[in-house]
A and B are shown apart, each in its own frame.
Chain A
Amino acid sequence: MDLSYGVKYDDFRNEVRQFCQNNKFVDPSTGMPGVTERPSKERLSWQVKLIEHGYAARTIPKEYGGYGADPDIINSRIIQEEFIRAGLSPGMANQGISMLVPTLLEVGTEEQKKRYIEPTIKGEMIWCQGYSEPGSGSDLASLRTSAVVDVDDFVINGQKIWTSSAHVADMCFILVRTEPEAPKHRGISYLLVPMNAAGIEVRPLVTITGDATFNEVFLDDVRVPVTNMVGARGQGWQVANVTLKYERGMLGNAGQGASAIKNLEDLLLSEGHDGRRPMDNAVIRDRFVELQARGLANKYHSMRLLSKTINKEPPGVEDLIVKYSATELAHDIFCLGVDAQEELGTLMGDSPYRAEKDWQKSFLGSFTGIIGGGSANIQKNIISERGLGMPREPLVAMTNDGWSLNKKSS
């Protein structure tokens, strides 16, 4: 065990720490810039400054507006640690930056990279992800939104759902069926669609938290040039998998668990409405320490995975469990935050007597982690099939005699 990053990183850490002392910016917005709302002017200029210093878009090549450093996961980790330590707003993370940009860098054309990457990393161009459909959730490859070629355009018709940030987005990266005759994974293409194109209608979906962070997107004869396709026709599934790989990493971050545990500890140690500290109750305390153990186990687990990445060891099943494990833990943490406050734990929004943090909203919001980006049940399929080598579930089909095993695989 050697948990130091090594002396050669000390200089870099000092440099970042110096920056954090001399430059202060904390975004006052409670929303998520670039996700639930458009970033403010101040946030945009902070983003530009971070890119100039290499604390955002660090490894994006200079020619596309990035900082152009070689990938080094320890440098990224140091930036993250120092920004958390100083309490500063870090570089923006939204679907465009975290998912589309890496995908374009891997499989986009030169023109697409030149046109889209710079405004996206600067936070000026907001993207939404057009994947899920009402009939295609966990079985995403069964999607039915169609695109047919008419002269130089694709003409798109269909409906997308769970499209977060569609109401603020400029652009959408979307999966459409272009080859209806091909097997389902081979008939999909990946297109880039401007959200102001004629024929797009966005309807907000109010979620369990009372916010409209998701949308339904209806597409009615929407035209985009054929040059807006990423990858080849019928190759959209492979392109999407490049993106999904980045999404799993984005959702399962053990660092988030650590700060939630810290907030919970503060809540339990402070006097509640009745003048008592929840931590003085043995049952609450026992539940807290159990969550603390799980939180630390996940934290050390993420250090183990970081070490594997640095030392170029294959990630294995240890990597596949992270999203499932972290999102279940988050739910349990917020649940104890609510329970510890008893009736006052059911307050949400701007109610009097609400605790400093909105625990109820976080509790309800924890389902986005459990369901989004491949639901917990799908994660368990992935863990067992890819991680443990278990067989896939056989297909079933409805026949006149009821359900039967379908020997044909698609």
Chain B
Amino acid sequence: MHFGLSEEQSLLRDTVRRYFSDRLDIERIKEMLGGSCPNDLWQSVTDMGLMGVVVPEEYGGSNLSLLDATIVAEALGEFVVPVPLTGALMAVAAISKHGDDNQKERYLHGIANGSIRVAYGIKRNHAALHSEGNLVTGRSAVIADVDGASHYLLNAGDKLLVVDCSAPGIRVENLKNVDRTRSFAIASFDNTDCDVIAPGYSEVVNHSIAVGRLSIAAETFGAAEKMFEDARGYSLERYQFDRPIGSFQSIKHQLSDMISDLEPCRSLLWYAAYTYDAEPEEFELHSCLAKSLVSDVAKRVAKTSLEIHGGMGYTELLGLHLWFKRIETNRQLLGGPEATRSRAAEIQQFVIEEVS
């Protein structure tokens, strides 16, 4: 029995983290704010194979498990890297399991080699977008990672669509989101060409969302871990009343609360990723539970960490705000904690007749 990362997975984790920590200091991250993932960074992460982690080998990927993908997602959160992984994972999961051969040929190679960058605008039961045959019309949900994207992954109700960003009939309105490590937009479509993934299979959107939720949960976890480590480090360096503030019980107990919340979340994330292949019928439930719990825990960690840093935490100088805002934004993407728990209850068929 072994519960945890394998040697190869630990190596992947170390490699990715070392790569980011060597290249992305806070100044470099600040330079990238408000734009898309720079080409050199994009080139190197795709060269490392990070976009093709779960792509089957025949399409140029490394065919690893979803747990490997969450390791990458966690590192992206830890270093607030503007690499659009979640959309890629959602598209790969849906297309490699439910897409037709042409679609696999068309998208999977490109995602693995970086020539396709996927932005995702998915919301369960989104009703402002309509597709008829291979044409889509209407207004999308909020699209994440929109700058630099080559394709949109969208849903019209329970239909999952891929749209080429250069297709005619698209109007994009960029949003001013609080998290400037990524870019967001709402797009309108007017009889725009689209590719429907697994037409007639109503679970495809739920399946894709479940993978996306786990990816975001892992990313949030990475960001929260980093904010916890920063709080611990700062409290040992910062002296007041002739003592490191980390010797005060009020701070120590806050750190204990953070780590006591975080570590079980890590176990839940690993297990949720494990169910994807080992117990597929359990996967969506576990993804919902992981996303909602990690979001709530990370929110508390982010608040406490900011507070421990005092006034400095409230400035832009330390860069702590970047992690805070990433956690805040991830909390809302693909369903906040309440929406996600509500879906978890639905999956378990808890509701017979709604009462108040």
Contact = CB atoms under 8 A, between A and B. Distances in A.
B351 A3 contact: no
B246 A290 contact: no
Interface string A58-100: 0000000000000000100000000000000000000000000
A307 B264 contact: no
A387 B353 CA distance: 47
Contacts of A381: 249, 252-253, 256
B293 A290 contact: yes
Contacts of A300: 3, 264, 267-268, 270-271
A303 B268 contact: no
Contacts of A297: 264-265, 267-268, 289, 293
Interface string B249-265: 10111011101110111
A294 interface: yes
Contact of B2 (A2, A268, A281, A394): A2
A279 interface: yes
Contacts of B248: 393
Contacts of B351: 279-280, 285
Contact of B289 (A269, A292, A324, A387): A292
B268 A307 contact: no
B62 to A, nearest CB: 17
A324 to B, nearest CB: 5
A394 B236 CA distance: 15
Given A276-B355, A290-B296, A394-B247, A384 B289 contact: no
B67 interface: yes
Interface stretch (A170-178, A202-210, A310-318): A310-318
Interface in B144-195: none
Contacts of B271: 296, 300, 303
Interface in B260-307: 260-261, 263-265, 267-268, 270-271, 274, 278, 286, 289-290, 292-293, 296
B128 to A, nearest CB: 25
Give chain A's interface residue range (CB within 8 Å of chain B).
Answer: 35 or more
A403 interface: no
Interface stretch (B82-90, B98-106, B312-320, B342-350): B342-350
B292 A388 contact: no
A286 B6 CA distance: 35
A260 interface: no
B356 interface: yes
B17 interface: no
Interface in A364-394: 377, 379-381, 383-385, 387-388, 390-394
Give the 4 A-B CB pairs with smallest separation, nearest first.
A307-B3, A297-B264, A384-B252, A380-B256
Interface of B: 1-4, 6, 67, 232, 235-236, 243-244, 246-249, 251-253, 255-257, 259-261, 263-265, 267-268, 270-271, 274, 278, 286, 289-290, 292-293, 296, 337-338, 341-342, 344-345, 350-356
Interface of A: 1-6, 74, 268-269, 276-277, 279-282, 285-286, 288-290, 292-294, 296-298, 300-301, 303-304, 306-308, 310-311, 317-318, 321, 324-325, 377, 379-381, 383-385, 387-388, 390-394
9 contacts: A1-B6, A288-B350, A292-B289, A296-B286, A307-B1, A317-B263, A377-B253, A387-B256, A390-B232
Given A1-B6, A384-B255, A393-B248, 9 more contacts: A3-B3, A288-B350, A290-B337, A296-B268, A297-B268, A297-B293, A300-B267, A318-B263, A391-B243
